[in-house]
Structure 1
Amino acid sequence: METTGVTKITVETVVKAPVEKVWNFWSQPEHIKNWCAASDDWHAPKAENDLKVGGTFSTRMEAKDGSFGFDFGGVYDQVKTNELIEYTMGDGRKVVVNFTSNGNETKVVETFDAENTHPIEMQRGGWQAILDNFKKYTEAN
């Protein structure tokens, strides 16, 4: 089923690490818990990931002071190891993540359907901040 009129937002980064490492840090729960936050006052205390077509994932994202939190999750639609992840979020929105290897660097490009509650720039900023945190964590470990 094709959705029309959906705004797509793209964020990207280049991680100074081989694609195999980037893929593992992106997909393994023990790593996800260390980078899946948009700011230092948030964290991800719990992550589960079954990275296969039809598999599910769930990451608990919370303010460190306990004031707010939510579960971010969905179902995988397509998985090509070290290349592509496509999934549908719990609210039906789609996400595509491409991994492009260039030796010791990997370009990560994430495109997602915008939601209608928050401004586009706020959504882009939040997703980019998480991606930047992923880059920082992966390059440091």
Structure 2
Amino acid sequence: MMTQTNELQKPDNASLILRRVLNAPQELAFRVWTSPEHIQHWMRPEPGMSTRSAKMDLRVGGRFRIQMQDEDGEYFTAAGEFQEVTPPEKLVYTWDWEKDGSGDEFGELEGNTTEITVEFIPRGAQTEMFFTHTRFATTESRDNHARGWGRIIDTLAAYLESK
């Protein structure tokens, strides 16, 4: 099977767009993106990281929390709120990091809230995914997130192919 790569765009200093064709139907791609039991298998922004837990209240106004840990034991915990939930087509949600993500419950956020939009477009047996992350405070933050999201989407694609 031909290996797909991510198409990355940086339309401005505060935004990034990743496009990827996934070898999975739309419903499966959406479910794997939004289900805690699946997220723990593919959310890997850095080599050696693991996802310790994922919580999802998949509804407008619902919150999510994804707790990751690197090989040195440092926690990186993202949290946010769903602003739009249209299964299996589209999600819009906020994204921020907890100041101390080592706990088991939602913690205090850093206050650098960004916004993510994920669209899943059916293309026969495949799904074209458009991932847009906006409102970065700095180009450095955008570029760091671009590297992490690129790895995450690669891992997601490989995980979907194993399903």
From 109, 114, 118, the counterpart of 1:97: 118
* Conserved? CA contact 2:19–2:129, under 8 Å: yes
Q: In structure 1, what residue type is equivalent to 2:161?
A: E
Does residue 124 of structure 1 match 2:146?
A: yes
Matched residue SS, 1:61: strand
Superposition deviation, residue 116 in structure 1: 2.4
CA separation of 1:80 and 1:121: change in aligned 2, threshold 3 A: same
- Asked which structure has the greater RCO (Cα within 8 Å, sep 6+), the reply is 1
TM-score normalised to structure 1 length: 0.88
Q: How does 1:1-141 map to 2 (within 5 A)?
A: 7-66=14-73, 68-90=74-96, 91-113=112-134, 114-116=136-138, 118=140, 120-141=142-163
* Conserved? CA contact 2:15–2:142, under 8 Å: no
TM-score normalised to structure 2 length: 0.77
Q: In structure 2, what residue type is equivalent to 1:71?
A: T
* Conserved? CA contact 2:14–2:139, under 8 Å: no
Matched residue SS, 2:140: coil
Aligned length, in residue pairs: 136
Q: In structure 1, what residue type is equivalent to 2:149?
A: W
**CA distance in structure 2 between the aligned counterparts of 1:70 and 1:32, rounded to whole angstroms:** 15
Unaligned runs of 5+ in 1: none
**CA distance in structure 2 between the aligned counterparts of 1:86 and 1:42, rounded to whole angstroms:** 25
Q: In structure 2, what residue type is equivalent to 1:57?
A: F
Superposition deviation, residue 119 in structure 1: 5.2
Runs of 4+ more than 2 Å apart:
114-123
Aligned identity (percent) is 28
Matched residue SS, 1:118: helix
CA separation of 1:119 and 1:94: change in aligned 2, threshold 3 A: closer
CA RMSD, 1 decimal: 1.7
Matched residue SS, 2:120: strand
Q: Deviations over 1:66-111 (max 9, x none)?
A: 1x21211100000110110001123321111111011210011111
**CA distance in structure 1 between the aligned counterparts of 2:83 and 2:13, rounded to whole angstroms:** 18
